[in-house]
Structure 1
Amino acid sequence: MSANILVLVGSLRAGSHNRQFGEAAVKLAPEGATITIHEGLDALPFYNEDIDLDGEVPDAAARLRHSAGQADGFLLISPEYNGTMPAVLKNAIDWLSRPFGAGALTGKSVAVVGTAFGQYGGVWAQDEARRAAGIAGGTVVDDVRLSVPGSLTRFAETHPVDDPEVAEQLSAAIARLSEGATAQA
């Protein structure tokens, strides 16, 4: 059985190292896994129950929910902004958590990885993303942890897929996530 993994990148910047992590994940997908980066988080309005109405859900939210509904698992890629995850990633989790108890994350495997400039690689933000995804109904694969520090210098001239240590660790993380997603599918 194959796994369909949806990637949500918490950085909107075109040259983002976390975006590059997503690109690396696509290239490093194990056999039998399809990994797709969701485009459009920048167009997603902040979650508000007043606009989350049957037949009236904003297009960006409907597209996200549709893509998430097709996924067997999720790879959340988070930088760290002021000690926590970026609002764009939290907002995506909020949209996917509804309807409560039956959102698109419910019962599906979720792993969180990323990189940040600081010395801990965004570990606080990634812990926050794990917690939010779990509360939203996802099955967090806790043994998948990859927080790469020093992103500005480490990836100044090297794409994460070309960094042997990162590529090996990211491949292992994706393989573990794919196993979990396949088992739950």
Structure 2
Amino acid sequence: MKIMKKKSTTCYTNHPRVKDNHNPSPNLHHSRLLFFFSAFLCFFIIHFPRNTNPLSIPMAAALSTVVGSQPAIKVIALCGSLRQNSYNRGLIRAATEIAKESIDGLHIEFIDISPLPMLNTDLEVDGTYPPVVEAFRRKILEADSYLFASPEYNYSITAPLKNAIDWGSRPPNVWRDKAAAIVSAGGGSGGLRSQYHLRQVGVFLDLHFINKPEFFLNAFQTPPKFGSNGDLIDAEVRERLKALLLALRAFSLRLKGTNPPVDC
């Protein structure tokens, strides 16, 4: 009688040699990593010149995408002083320079309010205004936000600035639902009372002033803050002004329903 041998029931998936096939040796891991690193390095050597930092290119592209995704903010700047070398007008010139040089997506346009006639409703004909007033109102309406340079006269805002505000408030009110910021320079408190009075006026206009940072500047303290032509020359004050502009941009974007950039 032939004796049949029983077949082995060993599970080959548990065999040591089978395990080796699914768990490559450390040397094989190192070889693969070295291969991919070499291929990556060769790609950048071929595609980028030696004097270029390859990592800076995708990073710059990413930053450009972030900045470019934000809409540009158009700011109309008004000064309550009509004097050419006014320190308050100097603040607006400095703000315009700062926005142009170091704040992406913020454009400041200064509008001279001296040509506006004194408010007189007799000048309104069938719902229209004098051409200079119509042009002013159109600029205000098209802006995203406003920057007021408001010196203090007799504990209040100046007559020219109040006149400009009143022309813009005639029906329909072109100021409403926009962001705004205030700067002022002068003696003592630096125009503090004019700013608080302007904020009170803004309540009826539906203007939305940023709360912080506030910007009051004593123009006569040492070291000198302004040059002989009214230009701002103090570096620390310029940084304070930049902080206010960044806050204005962030708040403007918020009112427009857009998330502000991360540096705000």
TM above 0.5: yes
Contact 2:87-2:219 at 8 Å conserved across structures: no
Deviation at 1:142, TM superposition (A): 2.0
Distance 1:64 1:115 in 2: 25
Give the TM-score normalised by structure 1.
Answer: 0.89
Aligned length: 180
> Does the residue aligned with 1:63 lie in a helix, a strand or coil?
helix
Q: Determine whether 1:38 maps to 2:111.
A: yes
Distance 1:52 1:144 in 2: 39
Distance 1:138 1:151 in 2: 31
Contact 2:93-2:231 at 8 Å conserved across structures: no
Indicate the percent of aligned positions where both proteins have the same amino acid: 31
Contact 1:114-1:122 at 8 Å conserved across structures: yes
Name which of 79, 89, 92 aligns with 1:19. 89
> Does the residue aligned with 2:74 lie in a helix, a strand or coil?
strand
Deviation at 1:24, TM superposition (A): 0.6
Name which of 170, 184, 189 aligns with 1:98. 170
Deviation at 1:78, TM superposition (A): 0.8
Deviation at 1:55, TM superposition (A): 5.8
Q: Determine whether 1:177 maps to 2:233.
A: no
User: Which structure shows the higher strand fraction?
Assistant: 1
Deviation at 1:50, TM superposition (A): 2.6
Distance 1:55 1:26, change over 3 A: same
Contact 1:72-1:184 at 8 Å conserved across structures: no
> Does the residue aligned with 1:142 lie in a helix, a strand or coil?
coil
Distance 2:80 2:220 in 1: 15
| Residue of structure 2 in register with 1:82 after alignment | 154
CA RMSD in angstroms, aligned pairs only: 1.8
For residues 140-168 of structure 1, the C-alpha deviation after alignment (integer angstroms, 9 at most, x for no partner) is 212241010134853245732x3112101
Give the TM-score normalised by structure 2.
Answer: 0.64
Using CA pairs under 8 Å that are at least 6 residues apart, name the structure with larger relative contact order, 1 or 2.
Answer: 1
Distance 1:54 1:72, change over 3 A: farther
Distance 2:252 2:116 in 1: 25
Structure 1: 5+ residue runs without aligned partners? none
> Does the residue aligned with 1:14 lie in a helix, a strand or coil?
coil
Structure with max Cα Rg: 2
Q: Determine whether 1:124 maps to 2:196.
A: no
Name which of 231, 236, 243 aligns with 1:165. 236
Name which of 115, 119, 122 aligns with 1:47. 119
Distance 1:37 1:47 in 2: 21
Contact 2:96-2:109 at 8 Å conserved across structures: yes
Distance 2:97 2:153 in 1: 27
Structure 2: 5+ residue runs without aligned partners? 1-70, 257-264
